[in-house]
Amino acid sequence: METMTRQAKPGNEIKPTVKITVELDARVAELLSVLDTKGDVKAVLILLADHVQQGVYRPGAWERHWLEQVFGNAWQSKLVPGDPYGRPHCEGIFQKVGGGS
């Protein structure tokens, strides 16, 4: 993984991005392509990543239940109350990385 930093707009904090390279079996890519109207597998993976991250930080989200089915629930011990995006007063709603291993 390669971490990159985008230039911030005035008044906004700098948000780092991570660039990754993924190789998929051609059949897997073909199957995933049907999930996007233009057949764009990259767009499918970006949308999947967005839903996965919502399942990680939103305990009540439908995505959380899916993640528990796929990954179990041991990963939840690595989370603590709080908003990973820094919004105030979200300790009782969201979770962020910061717990044990």
Which residue shows structure tokens 């690595």? 78
What's the structural domain count of the chain?
A: 1
Ranges of residues in the chain whose predicted pLDDT is under 70: 1-14, 99-101
Angle of CA points 54, 56, 62, to nearest 5°: 60
93, two tokens: 């709603």
For the packed helices 62-71 and 41-57, what is the interaxial angle rounded to 10 degrees?
A: 100
**Mapping DSSP to helix (H, G, I), strand (E, B) and coil, where does residue 37 land?**
coil
- Stated pTM of the model: 0.79
Task: Print the domain residue range for 74.
Answer: 18-97
Report yes or no on 13 lying in a domain. Answer: no
d(CA 9, CA 14): 8
Report yes or no on 4 lying in a domain. Answer: no
Report yes or no on 32 lying in a domain. Answer: yes
Report yes or no on 2 lying in a domain. Answer: no
Report yes or no on 80 lying in a domain. Answer: yes
pLDDT one-digit tens code per residue, 62-88: 999 999 999 999 999 999 999 999 999
55, two tokens: 């399942």
